[in-house]
Chain A
């Protein structure tokens, strides 16, 4: 902008309402005469208008994505981080062994792993894997530290609900074996293997319990595990 030349800044004391105030004054944009200003302004206005018009006339530059309509064709990068899921091995079991490393690595205590003594194997195993999406920051630390590749982050990002409690998920709602394995067992072992687990529980605040100032949810009592999958 060669049309404007700067002089040096001035500092002076002006009086506002009887009080002295130190003020720094710079040159304003008034060096041009009126005709030059009008021509310059009009030229600049036309340039701006022409830019907008050129984008309007060339449809190849349209970048709008019509989101809810293009839901089926949405493409995600491979590393996209959204809802946490437990992965299964080839037999349908969860790979998670309940080592609680993800719980320790989580920066804001969003993961709670509850273990129990297995009824069939008589070893410590995963009982409930509780993930609080409401406080999760999706930093991927849990996936990084898992030595068994038992966790991954899916591309499932539409998780809006009306109550914050519905964002506390139990990731292993059914942790029993697949039907083929069950069929090979006798009746008693099968029952033990299929022992129902609480869909939801654990030692975290607002964990399915009704709060005095929050109304009970309509229908069944708060069962967040049901609302997790769309």
Chain B
């Protein structure tokens, strides 16, 4: 007996591809659109962003970003933790600029407690110093990764080399490179060690030379200019209507920076410029960040030249843990220490919204408190999320290779978008 042969997929393919079946050309022009899936694990999408592209040939007609692959429920976690316990969690939002995330959160809590003006000058000064170092570090990673997306291999090595110095400074200061958890509600965790100031001096000296090298290596490179100029043009009106912020907004000709508009943590004492470009394309966004690094370096220089003396913690032991030697010598502070460690402090009833200028844009924290040691609601206003939302509007009509350049120039971090 000969068993009937079961058709395999190869046979089916042969049957389709043989000449007796003719494929009819469709007359509907909509059939030319092909859907292409980019991500979620794609080296150019900076994390786990998934883009569904509708392409006509090589030209993009529609982009739909799909987010949520890195969702960790941090906003909800914040409602189940005391205010101090949530600080290590904020490190994981924008994992390239954790200190800025810490700062955004603790400024919100300090505003809720009404102790914004009582923070010691030294603590505020050091917060500015470390925020600006963090901004340089975050922009250096952006410089390296966006250049590697465009095919330039070497900038990331130079960028990481500079960033390594900043990471060493953080390691020396707070013991960790990225998950710093250094800022506290009401000051800093501890004072900076003496060894860190020479390290910052050395970094500034090296970085000044490096910025000129980046100018030669990257910014003035004709290949890079060809890849970025005129790509992903974002007009002023579109940027404002999509609520963009940070370098993306400033590249479109809007002079808005929270550090100047609503100074926090003593930024009004520093002299710096806000780079603004009018073109709104990817190259303008590139130049804004390159100029911002230069400005940040000047702020760091001003900061280390005149660090005020004094304590780094507010003199209220019911809000911040005092130093160990004070705890063990004073009964009242020991009681406060136990209450603060076991339960946390009681926040007053109210709601606050406070923003900072993070390296990606305007980062805000909205806190609703109904009393007690935990917030009733914690909402994070994420700049990367809003900057990403403009992607479909600016990438229609460009090529697939251009969308890589556009994502690189938007500088998104998925940890902050999904949080």
A binding-site residues for B, Cβ under 8 Å: 1, 4, 6, 9, 11, 14, 16-19, 21-29, 37, 40-41, 44, 47-48, 51-52, 63, 77-81, 101, 104-105, 107, 137-141, 144-145, 147, 149, 153
Contacts and interface: CB of A to CB of B under 8 A. Distances in A.
Nearest to B29: A18
B59 interface: yes
Contact of A81 (B154, B176, B343): B176
Contact of B171 (A9, A41, A80): A80
Interface in B299-324: 321, 324
Contacts of B343: 104
Contact of A44 (B87, B220, B341): B220
Contacts of A107: 81, 85-86, 88-89
Which A-B residue pairs are the 6 nearest by beta carbons? Answer: A23-B397, A18-B29, A26-B230, A139-B88, A79-B175, A145-B341
Q: Which residue, A37, A47, A139, has most C-beta atoms of chain B within 10 A?
A: A139
Nearest to B234: A24
Contacts, number: 146
Contact of B172 (A25, A77, A145): A77
Contact of A29 (B89, B230, B327, B328): B230
A104 B342 CA distance: 6
Interface string B286-302: 00000000000000000
B216 interface: yes
Q: Considering residues A22, A52, A140, which has the most beta carbons from chain B within 10 angstroms of its beta carbon?
A: A140
A36 B173 CA distance: 50
B337 A26 contact: no
A144 B189 contact: yes
A79 B226 CA distance: 47
Interface residues of B, number: 66
Given A23-B396, A104-B342, 13 more contacts: A4-B229, A21-B61, A26-B233, A29-B230, A41-B222, A48-B154, A51-B216, A63-B164, A107-B89, A139-B88, A144-B189, A147-B328, A147-B334
Contacts of B233: 9, 24-26
Given A6-B278, A21-B397, A105-B341, A78 B193 contact: yes
Residue of A11, A78, A141 most packed against chain B (CB within 10 A): A141
Interface string B382-403: 0000000000001011000000
B193 A21 contact: no
A137 B235 CA distance: 42
Interface in B330-348: 334, 337-338, 340-343
Contacts of A138: 176, 179
26 contacts: A6-B278, A16-B56, A19-B33, A24-B234, A24-B394, A25-B230, A25-B397, A26-B233, A29-B225, A29-B226, A40-B222, A44-B216, A77-B175, A79-B173, A79-B174, A79-B175, A81-B176, A101-B341, A105-B84, A105-B85, A141-B84, A145-B321, A145-B337, A147-B328, A147-B334, A147-B337
A1 B220 contact: yes
A101 B175 contact: no
A137 B88 contact: yes
Contacts of B217: 47-48, 51
Given A107-B88, A137-B179, A79 B229 contact: no
B280 A81 contact: no
B279 interface: yes
A111 B29 CA distance: 63
B222 A48 contact: no
B181 interface: yes
A56 B328 CA distance: 56
Contacts of A63: 161, 164
Nearest to A63: B161
Nearest to A79: B175
A33 B328 CA distance: 77
A79 B216 contact: no
Contact of A17 (B61, B87, B216, B219): B61
A153 B280 CA distance: 48
Contacts of B181: 139-140
Nearest to A6: B279
Contacts of A48: 154, 216-217, 221
B254 interface: no
Contacts of A51: 213, 216-217
B324 A149 contact: yes
Contacts of A47: 216-217, 220
Contacts of B341: 101, 104-105, 145
Given A27-B229, A29-B229, A147-B327, A79 B172 contact: yes
A26 B279 CA distance: 8
B123 to A, nearest CB: 16
A14 B219 CA distance: 32
